[in-house]
A = this chain, B = another copy of it.
């Protein structure tokens, strides 16, 4: 893909670029995980929880469904990613939005020699927002610049959301990962009548336990070198204080030097290991990933995953050795690194984590279309009686 026209802007350091993707402290485009600072992460955590609560009953579901019936989203996925595609679809539908989709690159006009930027303007012509997933790093970012340029000429422009750009960035995955951690470390049981029971229970055994992502030990295991989600999540968690990270990987798939330096620079305590066995009992959260064998040069295309080394497999026995409140996450798809027997372990959070993608993306869309305030105040109105009662009794 020819990005020459945007090369100079693409080559700048991220921190210089960030202001161009926001207006008055609100997101205009979603391109990098680094756009989410700590207050924004807390805001989206809160908003995602509210959307989830409103989606529970028909009455409040209909409130959400009636928020954006007049808005049309374009989902442009020239690279397959069923999970991301389906959760964006569900997020749009939750808010009542219409969807148009391109999932097969061969269907596009590109075969007639059209520039990808002409295609992008076409997508923005017929929709109010474009979510794009492409194999090429930088394309989503370049499209955001295209939209900003159009804005300067008073021409039609829409928000661009990066749904994964090659090995580069996948900001909404990072957002859902952080949300899952924030939510897990609230230590609330969905089914408890009392909100505090679970945390108090854990504290009996772990008296130093605190709520929230601060002061936690995070373990990352698998393909650390190429794991885009690992890089983004580790960077975002460095926004929290008193954070320790363990990285467990085969020798050739270890922590990139630049990321290591960046984490240390933010005060994170960093350790590297070569077997899960060393760390499972120490971590508060274990983020498992699969070995991305399809990028291996000596793996024939379509040959399927190579057998995973036992050092990077979370067996049921290892999972049972983890702290009782600890949580297991995985960005999916998984291969053999988590056997299905672990699925019913109460620490397994990877299926709820996947579902969180829907709530977080709905929250993000609501923010981009400026109806987040409406959602928060409707939630307050509906639940105020309950909250008042709850506050009084606690």
Contact = CB atoms under 8 A, between A and B. Distances in A.
Q: How many copies does the complex hold?
A: 3
A237 to B, nearest CB: 24
A354 interface: yes
A344 B153 contact: yes
A332 B107 contact: no
A355 interface: yes
Tell which of A58, A81, A122 has the most Cβ of chain B within 10 Å. A122
B86 A358 contact: no
Contacts of A82: 102, 107-109, 119, 122
A302 to B, nearest CB: 8
B125 A358 contact: yes
A333 B118 CA distance: 8
Tell which of A5, A69, A126, A354 has the most Cβ of chain B within 10 Å. A126
A336 B234 CA distance: 45
A222 to B, nearest CB: 13
A125 B351 contact: yes
A359 to B, nearest CB: 11
Contacts of A344: 153
Contacts of A58: 70
Given A153-B344, A358-B125, A334 B118 contact: yes
A98 B93 contact: yes
A155 interface: yes
A90 B109 contact: no
Contact of A114 (B122, B156, B332): B332
Contact of A121 (B87, B103, B104, B351): B351
Contacts of A81: 109
Nearest to A330: B118
A245 to B, nearest CB: 26
B83 A122 contact: yes
A69 to B, nearest CB: 5
Contacts of A117: 340
A241 B82 CA distance: 48
A234 B81 CA distance: 42
Interface string A188-223: 000100000000000000000000000000000000
20 contacts: A65-B70, A80-B107, A80-B111, A81-B109, A83-B109, A86-B126, A87-B125, A89-B100, A90-B100, A90-B127, A93-B98, A93-B100, A103-B107, A104-B107, A113-B293, A113-B333, A125-B354, A126-B358, A154-B191, A155-B351
